[in-house]
Structures are given as structure tokens and as C-alpha cells.
Amino acid sequence: MEPGPDDWPDDEPVRRPARWVQVVAVVLVAAVVGGSIWFTVSAVRGASGPTGPVQVAYPPPDRSASKVPLGRPPTLPAGTTGPHVFSQVQPGTGAPVAWDPCRTVGYVVNPTGSPPGGAQLVSEAVARTSAATGLQFVDAGPTDERFSPDRRAYQPGRYGNRWAPVLITWADGSTVPELAGNVLGVGGATSASAPDGQLVFVSGVLALDAADVAATQAQADGTARARAIVQHELGHLVGLGHVGDPRELMFTEESPLQTDDWGSGDRVGLARLGRGRCFPDM
Ligand SMILES: [Zn+2]
């Protein structure tokens, strides 16, 4: 229960707890609707369920992919363990859905409203995600595209005949309702079904709350903590869900038990997500 105004001394401003701030994922889930040309993208937030389907066409297969993975996840020290959850698993096998390691993961950034140092936060968090997965990210430059939970993974008018690059935006609760309140960011990937029925992530989106990130930056260890917020959302982008252990970066909220980098369970999950198979027909 929230304290009412009468519970607070007149000269004491009401403060929200600063360190425990909710982070919510947008997990974009694709389901095949007959044939390989169209699929349905549904945005699911937490356990709230689909917000509505959107039909999206596939681009023609990109034959320029490498025959072998472009990178490999690190070999973790023996005994490295910890909780990790995959945001989506393959039908039948239960293996995690992942990005194609034979292709780069392109991303564009809408810098509008970025807090000071926002570009560096993103590039450092991307580098840490790349290091933990072996996935090779490519900065495809700025964009003026805005966040939508139903964002289309294929936008030929804007990005040509290829999957849309991952969109990273700065926003707030007035422009992105998902960021209202204490939510620091939302992020997730869109999967598509290959001809053999297996799923692969092909695009994705992150929206980071600029005001909340700036407020975090202003606190002790603020830069490292702000970077960790971006890493958490990138963890969703590459296929991790939330865990219940507050020592992991993929815990639902910011926690004083986290370090400013991946926890051991995060690293086990990220390494697994970096060993996905290649999809030459996508
Ligand atoms: Zn989250």
C-alpha cells in the first residue's frame, strides 16, 4: 500500500526506492500461419498475453551469409553454473531459439532524447553481449524510426529487402506506454520460421527510458549501473528471459546483489545462445 500524503512530513519529499526498479521485457513471438510467406508477430509483456497479431512478409533469402559461425562464445571456467531462462524454445526439441551466428546482427539507434553518454552505454553493452555470445553486432547507424511493440521485422520501404535491423530507441512513458512508472526498458527479438520449421531470431527492438537511465547515471556507480540496464535488455534481445535469482543481471529488477556485469547463470545462457545453428535459407 502506498503511503498517503498525510503520512509524510510536509517538508519531506516523497521518494521512490531508487535501487529497486522494475525492468520489463517485451518478448516478440512469431507463429507460422500456413506456409512460409507470412507469419504472425505477437508482442507479449510478462504474463499479460498477446496484445494483437500483425502479419509480416519474409524478405528473400540472404545468400551472403558465412558458411561457419562468425564468432564463438567463450569457454566458461569449469563449474560455471547458475539459473538462466530462454525466452523462446524450438517446437519439439525445446532447444533455445537464437540468432543465426553465421550472420551479423545489425542494429540502428534512434538517438532522439538520448541521455548524455547514451551512445557509449549502448556500444559498451553491445560489446559485452557480443563477448558473452560470440554474436557479431554491426552498428548500422542512426534512424528516426520509433518504438512499437508490434514493429514489423521486415520493412522493405525503410531498410530494403532484408530483415529490419534491431531498433534501439530512447524514450519515456509518454511516448512508449510500456515505460511508464519505474520501468527502465523493454526489449525483445522477433523470431521467424525457417523452411524446416525451426525458429530463428531475425529482428528485435529495445526501448530505454532516457529519464530513468539519466537518473541512474547520476547516482553512485551510475555509469556502470546504467550500462547494466542496457545489457539486461540486450539479454532479452539475444533470447534470455527473467530469472528469480537477484544475483543475475536477468533478474526481474535491479538488485543490490548484482554486479555491474553478467552473472554466472547469465553467462551460461548467453554462451548457449551463441551456439545456435545457421539458417542459410533465411
Ligand atoms: Zn527484463
- Quote the pLDDT of residue 9: 31
CATH topology of domain 18-60+72-273: Collagenase (Catalytic Domain) (3.40.390)
3-state DSSP of 218-267: CCCCHHHHHHHHHHHHHHHHCCECCECCCCCCCECECCCCCCCCCCHHHH
DSSP 12: S
Q: Once rounded to an integer, what is the mean pLDDT over residues 219-239?
A: 92
- Quote the pLDDT of residue 55: 45
- Please state the pTM of the whole predicted model: 0.82
Give yes or no for residue 5 having a pLDDT over 60. no
Sign of CA dihedral 32, 35, 37, 38: negative
Distance, CA 227 to ligand 1 centroid (Å)?
14
Give yes or no for residue 213 having a pLDDT over 60. yes
Q: Which residues pair with 186 in a beta bridge?
A: 207
Q: Select the more confidently predicted residue: 256 or 157.
A: 157
Distance, CA 206 to ligand 1 centroid (Å)?
11
- Quote the pLDDT of residue 56: 54
Distance, CA 242 to ligand 1 centroid (Å)?
6
Q: Select the more confidently predicted residue: 263 or 257.
A: 263
What is the tens place of the pLDDT at every residue in 109-152? 999 999 999 999 999 999 999 999 999 999 999 999 999 877 88
Distance, CA 134 to ligand 1 centroid (Å)?
21
Distance, CA 89 to ligand 1 centroid (Å)?
17
Distance, CA 282 to ligand 1 centroid (Å)?
28
Distance, CA 44 to ligand 1 centroid (Å)?
12
Q: Where are the domains of the chain?
A: 18-60+72-273
Distance, CA 3 to ligand 1 centroid (Å)?
27
The three-class DSSP label of residue 157 is helix
Any alpha helices (H) in the chain, and if so which ranges? Answer: 118-133, 156-159, 210-217, 222-237, 264-273
Which residue, chain included where needed, has cell 520449421?
A: 197
- Quote the pLDDT of residue 10: 33
Q: How confident is the model at residue 268 (pLDDT cuts 50, 70, 90)?
A: very high
Q: Which residues of 23-60 are buried (b: 16+ CB within 10 A; e: fewer)?
A: bbbbbbbbeeeeeeeebebbbbbeeeeeeeebebebbe
Distance, CA 23 to ligand 1 centroid (Å)?
5
Q: How confident is the model at residue 208 (pLDDT cuts 50, 70, 90)?
A: very high
In order, the DSSP letters of 128-148 are HHHHHH---EEEEEE------
Distance, CA 25 to ligand 1 centroid (Å)?
4
Q: Which residues contact 1 (CB under 8 A, 6 or more apart)?
A: none
Q: Select the more confidently predicted residue: 152 or 224.
A: 224
Distance, CA 28 to ligand 1 centroid (Å)?
13
Distance, CA 65 to ligand 1 centroid (Å)?
30
Distance, CA 162 to ligand 1 centroid (Å)?
28
Give yes or no for residue 252 having a pLDDT over 90. no
- Quote the pLDDT of residue 1: 37
Distance, CA 128 to ligand 1 centroid (Å)?
17
Q: How confident is the model at residue 274 (pLDDT cuts 50, 70, 90)?
A: very high
Give the CA distances from residue 30 to residues 5, 43, 115, 152, 190, in Å, rounded to whole numbers and listed in that order: 46, 9, 32, 11, 6
What is the tens place of the pLDDT at every residue in 100-109? 999 999 999 9
- Quote the pLDDT of residue 124: 98
Give me the chain's average pLDDT, please.
Answer: 81
Q: Which of 185, 159, 126 is nearest to 56 (CA)?
A: 159
Distance, CA 261 to ligand 1 centroid (Å)?
15
Distance, CA 185 to ligand 1 centroid (Å)?
8
Q: Distance between CA atoms of 207 and 169, rounded to whole angstroms? A: 5
Distance, CA 186 to ligand 1 centroid (Å)?
7
Give yes or no for residue 248 having a pLDDT over 80. yes
What is the tens place of the pLDDT at every residue in 12-69? 333 332 223 333 334 433 333 222 223 333 333 222 223 433 445 788 888 899 999 9
Distance, CA 136 to ligand 1 centroid (Å)?
22
